[in-house]
A = this chain, B = another copy of it.
Amino acid sequence: MTVEVLGDRWSLVVLRDITFGGHRRFRELLRHSAEGIASNVLADRLKRMSAVGLLSRHGDPGHRQRVDYRLTEAAIQLVPVMAHLGAWGSRWLPTSAELAIRAELLADGGPELWSRFMDELRDVHLRGGDSPDDGVLAELTAAHERVASARR
């Protein structure tokens, strides 16, 4: 059943971009997709994940461009799953340092870091607050940019 809900190539990728990229709108998700998701696929996955309760929609539903997609508590609780998946992938699959760094930091941080990160996501996605400048997401993003700029 879990595989039925999560098990297609794109749902987890979109969820990752919302969780770690901080993107919450259709256009941002489309523009920042590292894998170059097609716009019809993105629209379909956002709709599907909203229907199963992984995302909630906020804003003007008549204007697709203005809808804000936020993680639900169910989606936030996927952080440990994503941490394990990322750690496994960076150990066993060919990947770039740029893509692996966040996965490695998250894996190394263990349950304590995941739980801090989940609290931060709850503030932002469930209560509409802002991501703190010194939080876990800021730390992961900074590490990711350090590696990315070192490669340029």
Residues of A within 8 A of B (CB): 1-9, 12-13, 53, 74, 77-78, 80-81, 84-86, 88-89, 91-95, 99
Which residue of B has the minimal Cβ distance to A2?
B89
Contact A93/B8 with A81-B88, A85-B81, A88-B81 known, Cβ cut-off 8 Å: no
User: Copy number of this protein in the oligomer?
Assistant: 2
Q: Contact check, B8 vs A4: say whether CB atoms are below 8 A apart.
A: no
Q: Which of B1, B89, B95 contacts A94, CB < 8 Å? A: B1
Residues of B within 8 A of A8 (CB): 7-9
Decide if A7 touches B2 in the complex (CB within 8 Å): no
From A3, A53, A77, A81, residue with most partner B Cβ within 10 Å: A3
23 contacts between A and B (CB under 8 A): A1-B89, A1-B95, A2-B85, A2-B88, A2-B93, A3-B9, A3-B13, A4-B9, A5-B89, A5-B93, A6-B85, A7-B7, A7-B8, A7-B12, A74-B88, A74-B92, A77-B88, A77-B91, A78-B88, A80-B84, A81-B81, A81-B84, A84-B84
